[in-house]
Amino acid sequence: MDAGCPRLPDTVLFEIFLYLDHADVLSVGLVCQQWRAVARDEFLWKELFYRYYRVSRDVPRHPGAVSWYDEFQRLYDTIPCVEVQALKEHNDQVLHLSFSHSGCLFASCSKDCTVKIWSNELDISLQHSSNMRPYNWSYTQFSQFNSDDSLLLVSGVFVGPHNSSSGEIAVISMENFTLLSRVRNKPYDVFGCWLNETNLISGNLHRIGRITSCSVLWLNNAFQGIESENVNVVKRLFKIQNLNASTIRTVMVADCSRYDSPDLLLDYEEQLAASSTCPVFDLGSDSEEEEAKPKLPPEPAIQELPDAGGVPAEHGLQQLFDGIMEGHVRPPMTETELETKVAELFVRNRTKPPEPNLLPADSNSKTKYLIFTTGCLTYSPHQIGIKRILPHQMTTAGPVLGEERRSDEFFDSLDHVIDIHGHIIGMGLSPDHRYLYVNSRAWPRDCVISDPMQPPPIAEEIDLHVFDLKTMKEVKRALRAHRAYTPNEECFFIFLDVSRDFVASGAEDRHGYIWDRHYNICLAKLQHDNVVNSVAFSPVEQELLLTASDDTTIKVWRSPRAVRIQQARKPRPRKLLFSWLLNQKS
């Protein structure tokens, strides 16, 4: 093999050869007597690759790869699957991990009600720990650094009865770890997120009926505790009606400005078109493009308000009540069905229409999308709602209740809705914000929901869907390997993360998982002693991955290549005999 070219271990090469048919071995055996010849045989490595990784032959080679041998080397040598450190400073379940954008720090949240900030050096060390129990928190559940890493958003759950849904968001300064502000957040699993460097989004929930409510999303200034009383520190963004016990949860913001120059392309045809005008990228660099051919399902429909043949909402309500009183409504409606029907009729003429032309027209657009889980059939989150945030909405300046609303624009409508047909348990954006990855547990294919408080049973298998936010279509087939076991009413969020080349997720089967985004294959299982709640790639070094578990530990995983480099940098201790001889001579 060429000097300087990293070599796969002989044991790995021997295992690969076992995947060849006997006839294939005979046919190539005489030609490939030495590994040098093997490494140069592109046809052989292509056959080995498809058989060893069980990749469909219609999947082309990664566009950034120089050869199929290089692809073998990449998938073997750059996966963060070697455990190098276990952090045990938490004394209860670790729920979430988040890196700073520089990769120098990361934060962890836990049932022990602390948020810990760690220094990401060769050996990771604890830098600071904040206990949130003095603020009446039950536990911390989520964190996120702002874009310049000067502030940390921490989301938590209040102490309260078992069915309490209240939470709070705290903002911590990274300069001196002081608490700058606190914002109420309801329900707590809205989590919260940054819109820009100094403004964050929180939620509130107002009950209208037994299964009908209204979610209000607020824009908050991170420095509201120290701002002048003459400066607005909060502004209402959106007000959205919820039906059938559903609520808005898990908010995140996607930036549309990079859609035309993504780090990666998952559509084969789009990638092929791009490759005709773009140079080949080095897999070791920070920018490259990938592809994979999907079988696209029908485009998810944009949510539309119910049509009543042009009948005004007030007349529709009157017709409904008259029909009930006269016994014309058959079959008789249950109390739940009646409440939902009345709410739908009420909101029809009181909702601001969706924004036209949801998709950004150009890559320089300053538009951002607010993305969240929601639903329309039951309380379990089974839809993804998308709402465009316009430039003038990205500041707390102006009226606290937002722009003036007419009486017929009491609620905001969603600009786009993606139906998952299952319980959503995790979401994550690719680094370029082009693709949305969604963990879900599917419902039975032909299930019918008659009671919103009794959602269908959910599968143990977790499906990892991929949606292109530029086209609003699903790409690739759903990834599978990981599993979950809790029923609907106990189902909890399992955080996933996406790097340039890989996607990783936790699972309830005591493992973290890593897939290759281009080939759609599972590459590694990472062992823990209990549920894996969260995973996080370093944003500047995708060969470093963290996993957090109910076993109270955070595990640090590096790639075989990174481990070799790290070991090579360590000074080798002198042998005892050599040291003794030196002492004797002196």
Report pLDDT for 63: 80
Q: SS3 for 373? A: strand
Q: List, in order, residues 6 or more apart from 241 with CB less than 8 Å away.
A: 208, 212, 213, 214, 343, 347, 351, 411
- Which of 218, 150, 573 shows the shortest CA–CA distance to 396? 218
What is the rounded CA–CA span in Å between residue 140 and residue 158?
Answer: 9
In degrees, to the nearest 5, what angle opens at C-alpha 122 toward C-alphas 118 and 125?
Answer: 25
Report pLDDT for 165: 77
| Distance between start and end Cα atoms, the chain | 45
Beta strand ranges found along 89-233 (DSSP E): 94-99, 105-110, 114-119, 125-131, 137-145, 151-158, 167-173, 179-185, 193-194, 199-207, 213-221
What is the rounded CA–CA span in Å between residue 567 and residue 200?
Answer: 42
| Cβ proximity of 352 and 405 under 8 Å | yes
In degrees, to the nearest 5, what angle opens at C-alpha 114 toward C-alphas 111 and 115?
Answer: 115
Report pLDDT for 205: 95
- Which of 422, 509, 419 shows the shortest CA–CA distance to 459? 422
Report pLDDT for 585: 56
For residue 356, is the peptide bond before it cis, meaning its omega torsion is within 30 degrees of 0? no
| Cβ proximity of 417 and 384 under 8 Å | yes
| Cβ proximity of 363 and 261 under 8 Å | yes
Edge-to-edge, what's the strand order for the sheet holding 511-516? Answer: 496-498, 502-505, 511-516, 521-527
Report pLDDT for 62: 86
Q: List, in order, residues 6 or more apart from 35 with CB less than 8 Å away.
A: 1, 7, 13
Token look-up 């908010």 returns: 251
What is the rounded CA–CA span in Å between residue 28 and residue 98?
Answer: 48
Q: What is the pTM of this model?
A: 0.82
What is the rounded CA–CA span in Å between residue 196 and residue 144?
Answer: 12
Q: List, in order, residues 6 or more apart from 48 with CB less than 8 Å away.
A: 16, 17, 19, 20, 68, 72
Beta strand ranges found along 208-312 (DSSP E): 213-221, 234-242, 249-255
Half-sphere exposure of 155 (CA within 13 A, CB side): 29
Report pLDDT for 331: 58
Question: What is the maximum alpha-carbon separation in the chain?
Answer: 113
Paired with 137 in beta bridges are 158
Domains of the chain: 10-78 (1.20.1280), 82-261+365-567 (2.130.10.10)
Q: List, in order, residues 6 or more apart from 493 with CB less than 8 Å away.
A: 189, 250, 425, 426, 533
Report pLDDT for 550: 97
- Note down pLDDT in tens along the chain; length 586 residues: 444 444 555 555 555 555 544 444 444 443 444 555 555 678 888 888 888 888 888 888 888 888 888 888 899 899 999 999 999 999 999 999 999 999 999 999 999 999 999 999 888 999 999 999 999 999 999 999 999 999 999 999 998 766 677 999 999 999 999 999 999 999 999 999 999 999 999 999 999 888 899 999 999 999 875 544 445 588 999 999 999 999 999 999 999 887 777 776 776 556 555 554 433 323 333 333 333 333 333 334 434 334 434 445 555 545 555 555 555 555 566 767 666 766 666 666 677 777 666 555 454 567 899 999 999 999 999 999 999 998 888 888 777 776 666 555 688 999 999 999 999 999 999 999 999 999 999 999 999 998 999 999 999 999 999 999 998 999 977 888 888 888 877 778 999 999 999 999 999 999 999 999 999 999 999 999 999 999 999 999 999 999 999 999 999 999 999 999 988 876 665 555 555 555 655 5
